[in-house]
Amino acid sequence: MSVRGDLSRNKILEAARRLFAQRGFSAVTMQAIAEEAEISRGGLYRHYTCTEDIFSSIISAEQQQAHAALNTARQNGVSAKKILEHYVRSRLEQISDSENCIDNAISEFAANSERGKTILKQRAADSVAIVSEMISLGNDAGDFSCSDCNTASLVINCLLEGLIIHNALIPLQPEEEEDTLLMITKILNT
């Protein structure tokens, strides 16, 4: 794809992401995305056929960015403990940022679409695998003493997913973010 095409796709994805964060998945239309991106509907349809395609691209791009950041951190010798702490803090910050958080839209997408369910299952499996690997590496480095990395990872990810739902109803307070991080530390040292 040309540089101009890439710029158009990025503009579309950024505009769509804002709308999905504000309105949820189901309330966003192709027309709304075209208007938000300030492009014609024809220009939008040149790149994407439906909101599911756009939303899937957003999720895929975020997963790729997360994997790239993880690989960069590993290559730069950042400890597993620091990587995991950064992961949890960034997830908590995303959850607290209701203007930009698309996690509820992701849940809605999964609840209303087989494609969404598949994507969400893969996203969850990737998250559990990554956190489990970080816990294992932290165990090896002496930072953690966790006897069951996979279960601990599952509990951590479920805790974070539960906070997404909680935050939609009762906004997460800064002290709750710190309490969550302390609880996760306790999980990793049992």
The tens digit of pLDDT for each residue in 43-66 reads: 999 999 999 999 999 999 988 988
d(CA 12, CA 35): 10
SS3 assignment, position 70: helix
Question: How far apart (Å, rounded) are the C-alpha atoms in residues 99 and 21?
Answer: 6
C-alpha neighbours within 13 Å on the C-beta side of residue 36: 19
pTM above 0.85, yes or no: no
pLDDT at 162: 87
CA distances in angstroms from 141 to 89, 129, 135, 136, 181, listed in the order given: 21, 18, 10, 9, 20
Q: What is the pLDDT of residues 144-188, one digit of tens each?
A: 999 999 999 999 999 988 888 887 788 888 888 888 888 898 888
Residue with tokens 């504000």: 22
